[in-house]
Every structure is written in C-alpha cells, then in structure tokens.
Amino acid sequence: MLSPEELSRYSRNILLNEVKRNGQEKLKKSVVTVIGAGGLGSPALLYLGAAGVGNIRIIDSDIVDTTNLQRQIIFKHSDIGRSKSESASENLRSLNPYINVEGIQARLNAENAKDLLSGSDLVLEGSDNFDTKFLVNDICVREKTPFITAGVLRFEGMVMGVRPGKDACFRCVYENPPAPEHVPSCADAGVIGSMAGMIGAIQATESIQFLLSDSERDSGLFGKILQVDSKSMEFRTISTARREDCATCGTVH
C-alpha cells in the first residue's frame, strides 16, 4: 500500500497509463540488485530509487576515490575514502526514505554470486570488468533471473537485456572474456562522465519498464544490444541470436 506521501512523491509516474497506482505498487514490491556502484550504477541507482523501486541491493567492494567523482554521481566529495556500497546506500536513502536499500561490500565471485543475487526480480550489471560480466551472465542464466548488462568506454557504450531461456545470453554473443591486456579500462582509456550517465539511465529506464510489464513485452532491449556512439550520436539496436552450442544457455529452455 502506498502512503499519501508516496502517492504525492510518485504522482508523475502514476499519471502515466503504463504505470498508474497498480504499477507503482508493483515497483514498490520489486527487488533489483545492482552490481557496481560506478559510472553506470550511480545514475541507475538514483533513478531506480527516485522512481520508487522498493528494494534495492547494491554490491560493490570498492572505496570512493577522487577520480570516481567525475562520473559516479551518487557520491559526494565528502564520501572520498568511504565504502561505495555504504555511501551509495546512505545517499540513496536520503534521496528516498520510502525504499529499502541494502549495501553489500563484496566483490562478486563464483562462491558468493548465487546468494548475493538471490531473490532479485532483475539484476543490473554495470561493473568495469569482463570476468564479472560473464559471471553475472552465467549465474543469472542458471537461476533464470533476468538481467541488463552494460558497458561504457571513452565516448561509447552498450546495453543488452537478457531473459534467460528466451533471449541470447552474453556468452552467445561474446563467447569468452577477452584477455585483460586487450581490454582497455576507463582507468587507462578514459570515459566521458555523462556518457556513463546516459547508459546508466538507459539501464534504469529499461528496468522500470521491465518491472512494470509482463516479461513478454516485445520491445525494449531484451534480446537486443544497443550500441551508442556519442561522437556521432548514433544509436544502433541489433537483435541478438541464441547459439545452440552456447556453454551457458545452450541447455536452458
């Protein structure tokens, strides 16, 4: 049940035919886990929290660093040196005290991933490394948890949604993690902060629509990859195809 304060806070959502009061209550009951409170996680978390997604779990093992603040807008200058999961949770609660936010200071690995992601209606992956992206893919496919994975570098970004058993998974498309020396990171190649903001906001927008819809919705970024090149401001959407011999989802129906 939404309180009068919540009805007022979310009134611009509730005005939408696609949301209404029922949809807002659905968002309140939803559980979303965000992996990585970084350039993508920051805007995604702020928009999910502001929209009233009722249960948000934040997983990150890092500490806020000065170089993060150019794009990781959930943090303040005074958060430098603090745990990301803790300060992101605190800042999100102060934006919206009507939601539950749980910060977990941990690095996702093969041992803890199943537990840390359990109970999620949706997982958002916005980490800065391919090992985590593949791990999230493999666990979410096995547990049949829908997820939206995204990446950003320099002036470019990508987003991909996966409903396990229905859409191609990350491994159908990329097969194996590239060798680390072949993958530039934001730390050595740079990234435009607002570019991460754009991609993180797309993850949040897609999440909200996913949580509101039945999972049969045929639009959006599930079963697709969106590639954004902000230099040319070109947005390209490519449909993904499942591979029968995919090591992760080949046997998942």
Residues binding Zn ion (CB under 5 A):
169, 171-172, 246, 248-249
Closer residue to Zn ion, CB minimum distance, 220 or 250: 250
Is 186 among the catalytic positions? yes
Least distance in Å: CB of 231 to Zn ion?
A: 31
Judged by CB, which is closer to Zn ion: 9, or 171? 171
Whichever of 25 and 125 has its CB closer to Zn ion, that residue is 125
**How many other β-carbons are positioned within 10 Å of the β-carbon of residue 247?**
13
21/144 with CB nearer Zn ion: 144
Closer residue to Zn ion (CB): 133 or 171: 171
In three-state secondary structure terms, 237 is: strand
**Helical residues (DSSP H) of the chain, grouped into ranges:** 4-9, 11-14, 20-29, 41-51, 84-95, 113-117, 130-143, 170-174, 186-189, 193-212
> Which of 6, 3, 22, 8 is CA-nearest to residue 213?
22
* Closest distance to Zn ion from the beta carbon of 90 (Å): 37
**Identity of the residue numbered 242:** R
> Residue 35 CB, nearest distance to Zn ion (Å)?
19
CB 159 within 8 A of CB 199: yes
- 8 A C-beta contact, residue 142 and residue 125: no
Annotated catalytic residue: which of 140, 169, 172, 186?
186
CA distance 151 to 153: 7
State the Cα–Cα distance between residues 41 and 46, nearest whole angstrom.
8
Report the distance separating Cα 183 and Cα 129, nearest Å.
9
Catalytic residues: 186
